[in-house]
Structure 1
């Protein structure tokens, strides 16, 4: 991409007003013919190493080279074709989509954020079918909500698998936080997510019945605005309509563990750049990295101990519930540059308002599926115990087939 983000190499007719694309080669990287994903096109978040393609992590600072992505290679072997690389919130350390190249804009709401950090990934999926070679699915990453937040705000679906899922390799992906990082796809529908998952795992997914399932509704009072609360409550009512049994679930805010872990690990990943007085990060990103670098080992150890306590709380819930239902975002898409969320419980910094809803499930490594609701650009997340990935996607398929999403 040129310095001002106005052109994409190899495709002068490509229109990218949302600044979603970081790199577009003259021709897609074609998948192997005859594979189960043949005919599908995908975009690659610019944290994944792809041979012959540049990697910037949407920053003007130098970043480590992660090598070539095992997951991208696998998808190509399965027949999908890689169109190009998408922008992200700078080095994946954020939830709005801002970066060193001007940031990405919402696909249909000018002046609004698409969410992040997989901002370009969500936009490339949401605009699929439009002129310009958009995609059937996108590869994103999720460290604290970076698949689920943009999926929710762009009206698409996103899947964060269990931590260390063998079929969603992070090898060849520039890390942010090895403790919390996950790789996963976004698509316009669960059917496409399921097709990708089936191809990767070799296991056919089937729709799962909701009748009799114990659903924990995690909707902390005051953590969302009214439209989001009402959208989640309406989604819950539809689950009851297909036979699920709902009751309230309680979990604490987990940013006391999440933030020190992620910032300290991000600072370690980018330690060479941080040796410079002005490495090229935007001021907000640089401030967070410097904050992480300043954390004492004892502070980080204490955060890991709190993480273990939080894991015990979540594990205890699985004796009472089969699945959790929660908002994926606290408000509809904010304006670009907006840094405060107006919630029913009062104003709160946007970053905290978002992350306290999504970060627990990356921190603790359990699978989560973001789904749109009948309220425009408001998504929910379904969460299950670690290892329940196939069943979770099967439940999403059932809702899609029944017209719930």
Structure 2
């Protein structure tokens, strides 16, 4: 099985002949045939108009851009012209202007399909949203399982076939978690590398914007097109040779491994063994800061007060409307003293500096862990708040350390667990090494295979859907 790359599709659109409109119509058909519930709003006519504009530019002999006609779903945390901004809440927020990432994608020729579901104010890892709906994880043919959050509809929209790129945001793992849970690729750029303008904030310290795609190569291509628009020149890492031979992969002694369910750890260990057989060097390494960073994330002294401060300052009328699964977790934020908040920021910087120094001194190219320690749970198992909180904490536990330590990180499919659910391999690199990490992750993908070759097609994806592999 194969799927045309984003680069190949955009090149075909650029040659003219109405290809962007055909892509748009295929996306619309996939959406209309799907019952996965990825979107809170999908505008077929707006998509057709955008595609026709791209085709008209190509017909005039103009270059419509490196992402010409590529379909993009947008998390409902982003402001998007022509759509209300709900951020997963019970009523629309005041209007916001579009920010960097949406504007940059439009400039590069991409077309927007609609807005995907998010957890309320992005404050949750499971993907559950009783206000607007919870998308269906396509890998379980019977039960409604969590899609991963908070970018809950992002990965689902990719498998639906309505989008080739999905926009998410990542504070403690909200891009990598749904990527792992749905068997796609999700990348958290270095914090601050791309502006978070036009996106409702959760944590001014940890928020990032980023992408989900089906393959690392697709994500790498899109990232390289977008990055200069954020003020970053091409790096020498862009030319990193393909292949994993000589790659030094650190396998940390950490709860990110020991707290993972045995079946999930075994899948990731198997993937790493394949990389070792292909020439990579696996190195056991002590990184106690990963566990400490996770503990400090969960103590609530950074994200919760920053989120609470934003609501009280900008959206006080929304606080009484918060669903209990959000409101009760936010309740203690007002008890965090300023001195404790500042101490938490200081400690985060200290831990990050220690980790970066250790990676450099031991010449570790990547850290590797499972992305999620558990399989995406069935929603029926989360009816009690205590069960939800436990699942939410566990789903965050694998990804929040990288956020706290200023590492860039990517999740890519490692295989399927014993229940047939996707398992993610998380690769983490130093701050600022985004292009290097993507190049190395592409080399890893060349060994392990893409999601289609590694996992196959989800049971709930029909023949008219995704990956109706459009050539």
TM-score by length of 1: 0.87
Cα drift, residue 245 of structure 1: 1.4
Q: What CA distance in whole angstroms lies between the structure 1 residues aligned with 2:399 and 2:128?
A: 19
1:193 maps to which of 219, 224, 228: 219
Superposed counterparts of 1:109-120, under 5 Å: 109=140, 110-120=143-153
Q: Deviations over 1:68-97 (max 9, x none)?
A: 122111111101111111011111000111
TM-score by length of 2: 0.75
Indicate yes or no: 2:442 matched with 1:397: yes
CA spacing shift, 1:65–1:180, aligned 2, 3 Å: farther
CA spacing shift, 1:337–1:88, aligned 2, 3 Å: farther
2:248 maps to which of 190, 214, 219: 214
Q: Secondary structure at the match of 1:349?
A: helix
Cα drift, residue 175 of structure 1: 0.8
Cα drift, residue 122 of structure 1: 1.0
Indicate yes or no: 2:276 matched with 1:237: no
1:76 maps to which of 79, 103, 106: 106
Which residue of structure 2 lines up, in the alignment, with residue 19 of structure 1?
37
CA spacing shift, 1:274–1:175, aligned 2, 3 Å: closer
Superposed counterparts of 1:22-101, under 5 Å: 22-25=40-43, 26-28=45-47, 29-30=50-51, 32=54, 33=57, 34-60=64-90, 63=93, 65-99=95-129, 100-101=131-132
Q: Deviations over 1:337-390 (max 9, x none)?
A: 5459xxxxxxx9222222221011112322111100122411011111111111
Cα drift, residue 49 of structure 1: 0.9
8 Å CA contact 1:89, 1:119 repeated in 2? yes
CA RMSD of aligned residues (A): 2.6
Cα drift, residue 279 of structure 1: 2.7
Cα drift, residue 160 of structure 1: 0.8
Superposed counterparts of 1:251-262, under 5 Å: 251-258=290-297, 259-262=300-303
Q: What CA distance in whole angstroms lies between the structure 1 residues aligned with 2:96 and 2:399?
A: 26
Q: Deviations over 1:37-57 (max 9, x none)?
A: 113101001111112211100
Q: What CA distance in whole angstroms lies between the structure 1 residues aligned with 2:127 and 2:85?
A: 17
Higher gyration radius (CA): 2
Superposed counterparts of 1:5-404, under 5 Å: 14-15=32-33, 17-25=35-43, 26-28=45-47, 29-30=50-51, 32=54, 33=57, 34-60=64-90, 63=93, 65-99=95-129, 100-109=131-140, 110-128=143-161, 134-165=162-193, 168-201=194-227, 203=234, 208-218=242-252, 220=255, 222-249=258-285, 250=287, 251-258=290-297, 259-271=300-312, 275-276=316-317, 279-318=320-359, 319-320=361-362, 321-339=364-382, 349-375=390-416, 376-404=421-449
Q: What CA distance in whole angstroms lies between the structure 2 residues aligned with 1:296 and 1:256?
A: 18
Which residue of structure 2 lines up, in the alignment, with residue 345 of structure 1?
none
Cα drift, residue 15 of structure 1: 4.8
Cα drift, residue 103 of structure 1: 2.0
Q: Secondary structure at the match of 2:78?
A: coil
Q: What CA distance in whole angstroms lies between the structure 2 residues aligned with 1:255 and 1:373?
A: 23
Gaps of 5+ in 2: 1-27, 58-63, 229-233, 384-388, 451-471
Q: What CA distance in whole angstroms lies between the structure 2 residues aligned with 1:88 and 1:207?
A: 37
Gaps of 5+ in 1: 1-9, 129-133, 341-347
Q: What CA distance in whole angstroms lies between the structure 1 residues aligned with 2:200 and 2:227?
A: 23
Q: Secondary structure at the match of 1:270?
A: helix
Q: What CA distance in whole angstroms lies between the structure 2 residues aligned with 1:229 and 1:278?
A: 39
